[in-house]
Amino acid sequence: MHVADGAIRKARAGLVLLAVAVLLTLVGPFSGDAHAASRCAGHKVDTLRFSTGSIHVFRDGNFLCAMTYAKNPGTTRTMSVSIQARGSRPVAKSGRYKQYAGPVRTHIGTRKVWIRGSVGGGKFSDGWFKYPRR
């Protein structure tokens, strides 16, 4: 009886592992790309241009969101985007992308912000200013 109980436990464990593997295979591609596919909510308040791209800035209530877009998309290159509300740490996203980096979103309330972005060798860095910019 003890040998049969061990075989049943191993079979159950194998079925559980198989079920988890199938579940991760089906759900995995959707969950990992959710942030990459999402865009900023709210209305566009600014476009900050630089030599190799631009940063699109959106405001939604007390939140600011930004994405860096390549001027010539298609080739994979290093890109980054960050927003820092005064008194807080920067919220940033960087890596190797083909079209855009981001989005990054942070609560700004009435505080001034510093926005940075880069595509390849081109960079943008500007702040401290309030949104909407005057």
pTM of the model: 0.70
**What are the tens digits of pLDDT across the range 82-105?**
999 999 999 999 999 999 999 999
- The confidence score (pLDDT) of residue 35 equals 40
Residue 13: phi and psi, rounded to 5, are -60, -40
| Cβ atoms of 57 and 45 closer than 8 Å | yes
Q: Which residues contact 7 (CB under 8 A, 6 or more apart)?
A: none
| Cβ atoms of 79 and 70 closer than 8 Å | yes
**Nearest Cα residue to 91 out of 101, 81, 77:** 81
Q: Report which of residues 118 and 26 the model is more confident about.
A: 118
| Cβ atoms of 48 and 122 closer than 8 Å | no
Q: What 3-state DSSP class applies to 68?
A: strand
Provide the H-helix boundaries in 33-77: 34-37
**What are the tens digits of pLDDT across the range 18-65?**
554 434 444 443 333 334 445 899 999 999 999 999 999 999 999 999
Residues 2 and 125: their CA atoms lie apart, in Å, by 69
